[in-house]
Every structure is written in C-alpha cells, then in structure tokens.
C-alpha cells in the first residue's frame, strides 16, 4: 500500500537539521540582499547561489509576485535569530521584525566602532534602551565592554546571517 504524501505546510519552513538551517540562513541573505540592492528574487538568489524556489520555501512571505517576477516587500514578519550582548556575554534572541534586527545591528556597529577607536560616545543612544524581544538592556558600559573584548567575547565572525562569499 502506498503512503499518502502529506501537504506541505508553512511549518515546513522551520529548519529541522543543520542543512535546512543553512538553507534558511542563505534565504534570509537573499531577502537582505534584495532589500539592500533593490534586486528581484531570481537575481539575488543567483548571487547567493541558491534556487529561487528554495528561497520561497524558507522566506516566501518576504516576497510578493509582480507579474512573473517576485519582488521583496518593504517589511516582513520572518523570525531571525540574532546574537546580542547581555551582562553575562553573548546570547541569541529571536526577533520577528527587520526593524528590531536593524536596531541590534546598529548596536553591534557602535560596539565595533568603540572597540576599534576607543570612543564610546556612539553607544550613548543605546544607554538605558532594551533589546527588542530580549527583555534586557543593551550593554553600554565601557569597562564591561573592555572586559568582554579581553575575554574574546566580542569576535564579529557571525552576528546575523552568513552570506556566500564569492
């Protein structure tokens, strides 16, 4: 007796293993590239080295169809896991808005600038602010950031998504 194939649902976009997690990261990279450069889905997918159909599986709600082509929406509700800094070190937080992810990225850019130049004034705008979806404040203390830097916690290898390097 042949097994009946189940219908693919939206839950299938949740990665179940490392391969699917990598594909989802690449799909999110396509969304980011499309937004940043104003590219259509097929072009951005080709740059990232992934099929457009796979991008639609993992990040389809971020695109809308215009004729035969898919264009990225201005905003989406895709959940992304980003790395943030709390008082004990790095922690991953799942955010579901590009605005929250951008705020966290601006924080990391300010931390990088402070670490590189020694000027911590760029962190002033984050003082007393809470991490979106995190429930804790951004770390802005120069002493604490220096301590994290000495411990090697502030390596900037992977903070948000990993795009393909040509």
The pLDDT tens digits for 91-129 are: 888 888 878 888 998 999 999 899 889 899 999 999 999
Instruction: Kindly provide the residue ranges of all beta strands, DSSP E only, lying in the chain, ordered along the sequence.
Output: 63-66, 69-72, 80-86, 89-95
- Domain extent listing, the chain: 10-72, 80-151
For residue range 46-99, list pLDDT tens digits in order: 999 999 999 999 999 999 999 999 999 998 888 888 888 888 888 888 888 878
d(CA 160, CA 109): 12
């Amino acid at each position: 007796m042949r097994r009946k194939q189940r219908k693919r649902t939206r839950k299938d976009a949740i990665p179940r293993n490392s391969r699917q997690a990598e594909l989802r990261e690449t799909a999110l990279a396509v969304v980011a590239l499309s937004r940043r450069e104003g590219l259509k889905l097929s072009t951005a997918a080709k740059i990232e080295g992934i099929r457009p159909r796979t991008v639609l599986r993992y990040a389809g709600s971020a695109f809308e169809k215009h004729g035969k082509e898919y264009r990225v929406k201005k905003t989406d509700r895709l959940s992304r896991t980003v790395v943030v800094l709390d008082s004990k070190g790095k922690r991953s937080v799942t955010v579901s808005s590009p605005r929250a992810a951008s705020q966290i990225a601006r924080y990391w850019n300010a931390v990088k600038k402070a670490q590189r130049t020694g000027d911590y004034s760029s962190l002033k705008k984050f003082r007393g602010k809470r991490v979106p979806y995190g429930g804790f404040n951004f770390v802005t203390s120069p002493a604490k950031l220096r301590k994290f830097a000495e411990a090697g916690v502030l390596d900037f290898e992977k903070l948000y998504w990993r795009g393909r390097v040509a």
